[in-house]
A = this chain, B = another copy of it.
Amino acid sequence: MKTLIIVSHPEINNSQTQQFLMQGAKLQDVTWHHVEELTKIDINKEQALLRDSDRIIFQFPLYWYAAPEGLKRWEDKVLTRNFVYGDGDDNLGDKEFGIVVSTGMPLKEFRRGGSENITIDEIMAPYRAIADRAKMQILPTFTIAQFGYLNDQEQMQLLIDYQRYLTQEYPDTLSSRQKWFEREFTDRFKNFNDTSCAECETILNTFIQRREDLEQLKSTIGLIKQGEDE
């Protein structure tokens, strides 16, 4: 799967969150595309990049209930009407669309009665509307609240969840999660090839064994159910 991350942040080098996510993205086979770094927006090049992707992700910090101006500039230039829905060619129709948004406010404030008094889903509606117009498959929004307050354990969990968001098969079922972890394990071991990693191999084998056990169990339950139905 080819994942394209359209990142917007006016001061990305000073953003702890974006730097963290960038490290996580580097471990995956994805394209990190920072729009504020484009000195000139080449519409054809940008459209080709989109056309060439399977999953397109908008990633940004929340500034006044929307992405920073940089993403809007990119949208207003790159997303020509013809490209998105006008010319009959399904340029984006087979692709997935996700949003990774970070905020300094606690997540619980994004609801009626909270200090923000609006939900993250309501805030993201205009972006979802674009994807909808392009007939894209919309993924649930990935929200990172108050990154600065996360402890090490929580950061590690965030890293894995983020990586899964970038490349795991949608929808997020137990089976697609298993597949993702197995592939990740295997890929990482390849990198360890020169050094021996007996522990790694044990982990992978245990994982595969457990997955197979689960599948066996599932199939047994299926048979029992079938019996009951007859």
Interface of A is mostly: helix
Residue on B with the closest CB to A126? B65
User: Does A133 sit at the interface, judged by CB under 8 A?
Assistant: yes
CA distance A21 to B187 in the complex (A): 60
CA distance A200 to B79 in the complex (A): 51
Chain B residues with Cβ below 8 Å from A75 are 63-64, 69
Residue on B with the closest CB to A116? B129
Residue on B with the closest CB to A65? B126
Residues of A in contact with B, size category: 20 to 34
User: Does A118 sit at the interface, judged by CB under 8 A?
Assistant: yes
Chain B residues with Cβ below 8 Å from A122 are 122, 125
Count of chain copies: 2
CA distance A133 to B64 in the complex (A): 10
User: Does A73 sit at the interface, judged by CB under 8 A?
Assistant: yes
Q: Is the CB of B126 within 8 A of A123?
A: yes
Q: Is the CB of B65 within 8 A of A129?
A: yes
CA distance A157 to B154 in the complex (A): 58
Give the residue of B63, B118, B129, B132 whose beta carbon is less than 8 angstroms from that of A76: B63
User: Does A25 sit at the interface, judged by CB under 8 A?
Assistant: no
Give the residue of B117, B123, B125 whose beta carbon is less than 8 angstroms from that of A118: B125
Known: A123-B125, A125-B118, A129-B117. A79 touches B64 (CB 8 A): yes
Contact with B along A52-83 (1 / 0, CB 8 A): 00000000000111111100110110010000
Chain B residues with Cβ below 8 Å from A69 are 69, 72-73, 75-76
User: Does A158 sit at the interface, judged by CB under 8 A?
Assistant: no
How far does the Cβ of A36 sit from chain B's closest Cβ, in whole Å? 12
Chain B residues with Cβ below 8 Å from A133 are 116-117
Q: Which residues of A contact B (CB under 8 A)?
A: 10, 63-69, 72-73, 75-76, 79, 116-118, 122-123, 125-130, 132-133
